[in-house]
């Protein structure tokens, strides 16, 4: 499952009013224990609370130095 698919589930769960811990548990139960972490879900819920529902990677601290140089 790719990142965008997982993030779509994050957004769905967020819109249902679920907590990050519950969302992570549900996803890991269905797709495998290492699919996501509670911290990752918290990160995306924070973005969604800020009004940004884009599921794309943001340029910045999450991009490695090598990736920025290649761009």
Query: CB within 8 A of 23, min separation 6: which ones?
Result: 9, 10, 13, 14, 41, 45
Percent of the chain with pLDDT over 90: 76
The pTM assigned to this predicted structure is 0.79
Query: pLDDT category, 59, cuts 50, 70, 90?
Result: confident
pLDDT at 68: 43
* 38-49: average pLDDT: 98
List domains and CATH numbers for the chain.
3-50 (1.10.10.1450)
Query: pLDDT category, 65, cuts 50, 70, 90?
Result: very low
């Amino acid at each position: 499952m790719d990142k965008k698919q997982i993030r779509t589930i994050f957004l769905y769960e967020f819109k249902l009013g679920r907590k990050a811990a519950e969302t992570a548990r549900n996803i890991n139960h269905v797709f495998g224990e290492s699919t996501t972490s509670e911290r990752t879900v918290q990160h995306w819920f924070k973005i969604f609370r800020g009004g940004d529902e884009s599921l794309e990677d943001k340029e910045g601290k999450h991009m490695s130095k090598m990736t920025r140089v290649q761009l």
